[in-house]
Amino acid sequence: MALLLLFALGVGVVLSAGTLLVVTRPLERPDAIISLASHEWERLPAAAKLARATPAALVILTLPQPATVYNCHDCSGRLDRLRRLGIPPDRVRIIPLTAPGTYGEALAALAFARRTPIRRLLIVTTPYHTRRSLAAFRSVFDGTQVEIGVEPATDSSPAQPERWWATPYDRAYVAYEWAAELYYALRYRVAPWS
C-alpha cells in the first residue's frame, strides 16, 4: 500500500512539473516593470501590456555582457518592439549586467533601485522562469524596502504547463528550469519555495 501511495505521489509530481514552476505575484502600481533578457517575443508584449496599464512605471530591460543570441535573442530590436507596443523610449531604462544569468539581472536591478526611487518592482518573464526569477530577486533584495512581484507572460508564450510533456519546447524548458532551480539553490542559496 505504501509503495502504491509513493508511486501515485511520484506520478503526481511528474505531471505537475510544469505547473509547479509557474507563479504569479501581482503587484499593484509598480514603480518599475522589469522584462528579463531573452525570449523577447514572449516577455516584451506582456511587459508592454502591464506598462500601458501603469503609465507612471518605468520599463527596465537588462543587457547581458556580452549580449548573444543565447542570452538576449533580439537585444538591438527591443526598443523598437516596445515602441510598436505603445511604450515610448523615454520610459525605458536599459541596465547592463555585471554578472550572468537571472541572478545577475537581480543584482543589476538592485543597483539600479538604489539609484532610483523604486519601491515596487514587477518582474515579467516566461512562465516556466517565474519561480526561479522571483526567488532570485527576493533573495537579492532581502533587507531592502523594495516589494517584488512577478507576472508570467502567459498570453504571448507557447508554454503549456498543464501538458508540459506534450511539446519539445515545454519538455526542454521544464527540464532546464528544474536543473536551474537546483543550481540556484546550491550556488546562490536561493530557496525557490519561499
**pLDDT one-digit tens code per residue, 28-77:** 999 999 999 988 999 999 999 999 999 999 999 999 888 888 788 888 89
Please answer whether residues 89 and 126 qualify as being in contact, where contact means their C-beta atoms are separated by less than 8 angstroms: no
For the cut 50, the answer to whether the pLDDT of residue 10 exceeds it is no
Residue 2 C-alpha cell reads as 505504501
Q: Where are the alpha helices (DSSP H) in 20-123?
A: 40-53, 78-84, 101-115
Q: Which helix (H) or strand (E) holds 120?
A: strand 120-125
Q: Report the amino acid identity of residue 123.
A: I
Cα gap 12→9, rounded to integer Å? 5
What pLDDT does residue 187 have? 94
Q: What is the mean pLDDT of residues 73-102?
A: 93
What pLDDT does residue 2 have? 62
Between the CA of residue 178 and those of 22, 69, 130, what are the distances in Å? 12, 22, 12
Q: What is the mean pLDDT of residues 183-188?
A: 94
Per cent of the chain over pLDDT 70 is: 92
pTM comes to 0.91
User: What is the overall mean pLDDT for the chain?
Assistant: 90
Q: What is the mean pLDDT of residues 74-97?
A: 94
